[in-house]
Structure 1
Amino acid sequence: MEPYDALLASITPKSGETRTITDPATGTAIGEAPIHTLEDLEQAINAAQAAQPAWDGLGHEARSAVLLKAADAIERSAAELAHLLSREQGKPLNGLNARFEVGGCVAWLRAAATTPLEAQTLVDDGETYAELHYKPIGVVGAIGPWNWPMMITIWQIAPALRMGNAVVVKPSEYTPLSVLALVKVLNEEIPEGLLTVVSGDRTVGARLAEHPAVGKIMFTGSTATGKAIIKSSADTVKRLTLELGGNDAGIVLPDADPKAIAQDLFWGAFLNTGQTCSALKRLYVHTDIYDAVCEELTKVAVAAPMGNGLDENNVLGPLQNKAQYDIVANLVEAARASGARILLGGNPDAGQPGYFYPTTLVADIENDNPLVAEEQFGPALPIIRYSTVDDAVEKANALDVGLGASVWSSNRDAAREVAARIQAGTVWINKHGAVDPRIPFGGAKQSGYGLEFGIEGLKALGTPQVINL
């Protein structure tokens, strides 16, 4: 018996076409996911349209109360959700992984429910009085990824519901069970019809993006798919929030302490086994401390156990799917062939079940190498040597993406000066990838547009309305 058996049974289709979902750590079957159709999508959108006006009419306070109860429901089912997530996505239960993700769902849902959003007085000069309000959009489409399937779904649906919208969710085909289970739990408290999952293929996602009854699309995924959504949404002038691909740079200044920063550098890069949009994916280190940083990072990496996520000792897991495994393996092999130095890893065990790629650190690599220039989205970190800060900043800014970045230094003022020169939506200092439900998050350049989290995230799920007296 698995801890999630009852929950899984509740989302297993009793009829209709299904698809077997397998564990990326073992290749064994987990369960059956429905293959929803365009007709199912139409039914979900119709139900959302019917339920949304009454939900809007409740007002912020009553909607927030419902969402807080929904957060409590997630907490009640946390063990089952975490185990199912670990099996389907591959991430370990322990560390910043499955249990952490379920806890993040609770935290972000509560934050969306309790963040105040008052009407803003724009002008009050005795002659003119103007207020800015935010009204619901109507029906929101939420299209999510496979790397953080539960938490990113909450990032999308929590503010949408708080602002009075209904939501239709399209999960990744790789991780539908996690999202179906999460929404099943949420719907214990949320009124019927407001929140529906349509677990279909890309044709379903494409139709959701272009559907005339959907007023906004929230999407987290690749830049290529984001561009397709922009095109398909044009005819209906949909509002969009797009969190797209990234290739985050970290710059280690010469005054940094290699030993002190090694642990945070490692987890900035290898959180969720590197399968995080805002993970540290290319590390620029000043030549004066280059060898020391490589040495300290290697020590940390060797001590981080990788294996089946249900083993409480592991903190790193497999890549979620074969396609992503092949991308990482090919990029590392190209780096090796170019003459780069493999400090650790790069030697997967072909006889091991599952999509495990070993923790890999690559040194003495050129900035134009594909492992640096392309988003690897896995457990392989290239470490690039630089001589001047100007050179490091230029290299960090050279790509057409800019989701996040980081600067590492013992001098906060010096780090802030460098951070201000980096073209990215968020620049962290002496940490990387630390998102917070109170702090807006979004990308620059081709990493997308629109903000999530905090007050700005709520506003993005509403239509601004000025009342002018």
Structure 2
Amino acid sequence: METYDALLASITPTSGPTRTVLDPATGDPVGEAPVHTLEDLELAVGAAQAAQPAWAALGHDARSAALLKAADAVERSAEELARLLSREQGKPLNGPNARFEVGACAAWLRTTATTELKPETVVDDGETYAELHYKPIGVVGAIGPWNWPMMITIWQIAPALRMGNTVVVKPSKMTPLSVLALVKVLNEELPGGVLNIISGDREVGARLAEHPAVGKIMFTGSTAAGRAIIKSSADTVKRLTLELGGNDAGIVLPDADPKAIAEGLFWGAFINTGQTCAALKRLYVHDDIYDAVCDELTNVAKTMPMGNGLDENNVLGPLQNKAQYDIVAQLVEAARVSGARILLGGDPDPDQPGYFYPTTLVADIDNDNPLVAEEQFGPALPIIRYSTVDEAVAHANALEVGLGASVWSSDPAAAREVAARIQAGTVWINKHGAVDPRVPFGGAKQSGYGLEFGVEGLKALGVPQVING
């Protein structure tokens, strides 16, 4: 285990171009990240290609053992990784934030390593015998986002490595340090060349997506960026797993208990200060309990401290970057001007350092208001009235995205009936955004395609092969 300073020093480049990464809570420098070039990318892909045959030849058991050791390495450096993540991304150490994210990295590694994927007998009728196997793809490119940089990187690389592929990681230029540190820690237990990282600008990511030696791209990010990856990957017919933008709806049925669900609603919407693809971003509440839900949610939100992530008391942090801050501020101001009622927040302090936007709840807002129709990706939740369940379901399904959704009710059976009508990859009951490494996860409509996690996630990192006879 290294100290925080030693870990940061170990990923600080000693030559070549660099970019200073700033703390979004203070504006202070966190560290220097390398700005790798296209030539560096070629070296990384070449190393992955060279290492892949031997890695695949080890077999599932040996690769799983290596991933379990990698999980141990993450836990040895957990506090140092969490501190670096907090400083770079902004999320607090406590709550479902930095320490939670690092812990999830170890948990996902262990679950991925121990999930069984056996050959499947497709037909065995005495005349025909056919088995379905999954073979390694080769080299996988993993392009990650800035909101959950460590955890989503693990979501991508753990199944890729388990299935016998080697990986080239390209982190967001907003949060390269935490991913560089994570890869450095993982590589303490992995063979050389199996896991490689390139920290570069957009042209490096674009080249990775089109590189002829890369057999699959895993990408988490915006729908617009996903479309670009689809186009750039087409010439080499790459396999793709795309987890793209969402604007998740939650529907509160009239039999729900406002007080009982208030904290779940809060964390469904405001986990990671709202910077989560599968966060609750528009909440539909029945007329009968609308005011009570607004009151109870406001009461909960008032108790959640926001501030510098290194302060152990805080559970909400800043937005990660100025561009995202401006999007949230503009959408809330447009809602205010339209006549929507601000229940809480909406009043950032212009003299406060960092990209802090206060926890904001907006009521009595039209369904076509931009704060509802566009993904805000920050700490502002619009709460929309509805009169009939048919109306709420129609609103939930009206957008072109469909990553997640939720239904809140005292009657789970009734909630499941409503859930089945919603066009989303996952619909949660009385919770929102609760992902599990054993349960498949993926989007519908323009929120992407392909499944992650569990057995289906492993299959997505392999090439199916039928042995017939």
Pairwise TM-score range, normalised by the shorter structure: over 0.9
Provide Cα deviations, 1:153-184, integer angstroms capped at 9, x if missing partner: 00000000000000000000000000000000
Provide Cα deviations, 1:24-72, integer angstroms capped at 9, x if missing partner: 0000001000000000000000000000000000000000001100000
Alignment-derived partner of residue 16 in structure 1 = 16
Shift of 1:3: 5.0
Aligned equivalents of 1:202 and 1:30: distance in 2? Answer: 22
Shift of 1:4: 1.3
Alignment-derived partner of residue 306 in structure 2 = 306
Aligned equivalents of 1:129 and 1:160: distance in 2? Answer: 29
CA contact (8 A) 1:124 1:130 kept: yes
Q: Match of 2:288, SS? A: coil
Q: Match of 1:356, SS? A: coil
Aligned equivalents of 2:175 and 2:363: distance in 1? Answer: 34
Provide Cα deviations, 1:82-124, integer angstroms capped at 9, x if missing partner: 0000000000000100000000000001111000000000011
Alignment-derived partner of residue 468 in structure 1 = 468
Alignment-derived partner of residue 28 in structure 1 = 28
Alignment-derived partner of residue 220 in structure 2 = 220
Aligned equivalents of 1:337 and 1:194: distance in 2? Answer: 54
Aligned equivalents of 1:314 and 1:11: distance in 2? Answer: 28
Aligned equivalents of 1:409 and 1:210: distance in 2? Answer: 46
Alignment-derived partner of residue 392 in structure 2 = 392
Q: What one-letter code is carried by the residue in structure 1 that aligns with 2:105? A: C
Q: What one-letter code is carried by the residue in structure 1 that aligns with 2:186? A: L
Q: Match of 1:74, SS? A: helix
Alignment-derived partner of residue 186 in structure 2 = 186
TM-score norm. by structure 2 comes to 0.99
Aligned equivalents of 1:196 and 1:328: distance in 2? Answer: 35
CA contact (8 A) 1:3 1:79 kept: no
Alignment-derived partner of residue 47 in structure 1 = 47
Q: What one-letter code is carried by the residue in structure 1 that aligns with 2:129? A: Y
1:458 pairs with 2:458: yes
Alignment-derived partner of residue 410 in structure 1 = 410
Give the RMSD, CA atoms, in angstroms: 0.6
Aligned equivalents of 2:360 and 2:34: distance in 1? Answer: 37
CA contact (8 A) 1:3 1:83 kept: no
Q: Percent identity?
A: 85
CA contact (8 A) 1:159 1:461 kept: yes
Q: What one-letter code is carried by the residue in structure 1 that aligns with 2:88? A: E
Q: What one-letter code is carried by the residue in structure 2 that aligns with 1:47? A: A
TM-score norm. by structure 1 comes to 0.99
1:173 pairs with 2:167: no
1:275 pairs with 2:282: no
Q: Match of 1:168, SS? A: strand
Aligned equivalents of 1:423 and 1:303: distance in 2? Answer: 34
Aligned equivalents of 1:189 and 1:319: distance in 2? Answer: 34
Aligned equivalents of 1:405 and 1:261: distance in 2? Answer: 15
Q: Match of 2:184, SS? A: helix
Provide Cα deviations, 1:413-456, integer angstroms capped at 9, x if missing partner: 11011000000000000000000000000000000000000000
Change (3 A) 1:308 1:3: farther
Alignment-derived partner of residue 294 in structure 2 = 294
Q: Match of 1:288, SS? A: helix
1:425 pairs with 2:425: yes
Q: Match of 1:14, SS? A: coil
Alignment-derived partner of residue 442 in structure 1 = 442
Shift of 1:127: 1.0
* 1:157-168 alignment runs, 5 A limit: 157-168=157-168
Provide Cα deviations, 1:265-319, integer angstroms capped at 9, x if missing partner: 0000000000000000000000000000000000000000000000000000000
Q: Match of 1:71, SS? A: helix
Q: Which runs of 4+ in 1 moved over 4 A?
A: none
Alignment-derived partner of residue 115 in structure 1 = 115
Provide Cα deviations, 1:117-148, integer angstroms capped at 9, x if missing partner: 00000011111110000000000000000000
